[in-house]
Structure 1
């Protein structure tokens, strides 16, 4: 009887832990991009493959969107994603998004400046480590290197 209770208790804890981790992943996002940018569509497909419903908003004034979102100078990319309470700027690999949503730091968001080869939505293979930055206001700091 004691072994059965122990097994049930452990199984329940595992299930609760799994559901807690799953709950950390938000299920919808808005991706702002230029209508002609195909790599942004590729990034949206990447998020969708991870179970996130992506609303793509084609918008010509991305500069204003980035300014309103508080993207720090030098951290911009070709698209901006609003995901839950966070801003994801650029072709940020999903591993960084998972870390962000699991840890829930008190920041505005994370960014991967430019359009590095091999990132989700971008062709080619990774040429250098991806330096994902966190940002709060105009301040940036290292978040994760992949």
Structure 2
């Protein structure tokens, strides 16, 4: 026979278990499923007439990324809006799960960013290196990480 005090304990345990289950379900709903990789989606801001930007978008899409393209006549405004350091600027700016990805960044660097999730504002390949993805090659690129307060550091040296 279960006494009244024992029923209260069981009810509290049952409530705690139910609460834990609801909390876990809500967390899974936000992330998709336990252990699932984040969705491969990004938004790219670029000039409508820039061919190398379009080729970089094609390069990313070829790896099953869903890319929303936003064509802007003046890409400088988005760079300022997202807090990009001028010395890291390139021709297009992408936003990937809250990170800024500037320029012709190779996919392995973006994958590393998404896997490691470092405490940075974004990553960049400054300028428009001729052998970078979208520019006609798959050469080795120096990718830099940067913080909101302007600190930069090497992130990876990656082939595209």
Per the shorter chain, which TM-score range?
0.7 to 0.9
* CA distance in structure 2 between the aligned counterparts of 1:32 and 1:145, rounded to whole angstroms: 24
Equivalence map 1:82-97=2 (5 Å): 82-97=95-110
In terms of Rg, which structure is larger? 2
How far 1:125 sits from its partner (Å)? 6.0
Query: C-alpha offsets along residues 108-130 of structure 1, whole Å, 9 cap, x if unaligned?
Result: 1100001112211112463xx42
Q: Is 1:133 aligned to 2:148, yes or no?
A: no
Unmatched tracts of structure 2, length 5 or more = 1-33
TM-score, with length taken from structure 1? 0.79
CA drift of 1:27 comes to 2.3
Cα 1:124–1:101 shift into 2, 3 Å: closer
In the alignment, the residues of structure 1 paired with residue 138 and residue 130 of structure 2 have an alpha-carbon distance, to the nearest angstrom, of 6
Q: C-alpha root-mean-square deviation of aligned residues, in Å?
A: 1.6
Q: Structure 1: which 5+ runs fail to align?
A: 1-18
Structure with the larger RCO, 1 or 2 (CA within 8 Å, 6+ apart)? 1
Output aligned runs, 1:58-97, within 5 Å. 58-97=71-110
**1:36 aligned residue:** 49
Q: How many residues align?
A: 124
Task: Provide the C-alpha distance between the structure 1 equivalents of 2:130 and 2:82, rounded to a whole number of angstroms.
Answer: 25
TM-score (norm 2): 0.72
Residues 111, 133 of structure 1: 8 Å contact kept: yes
Show structure 1 runs of 4+ deviating over 6 A.
Answer: none
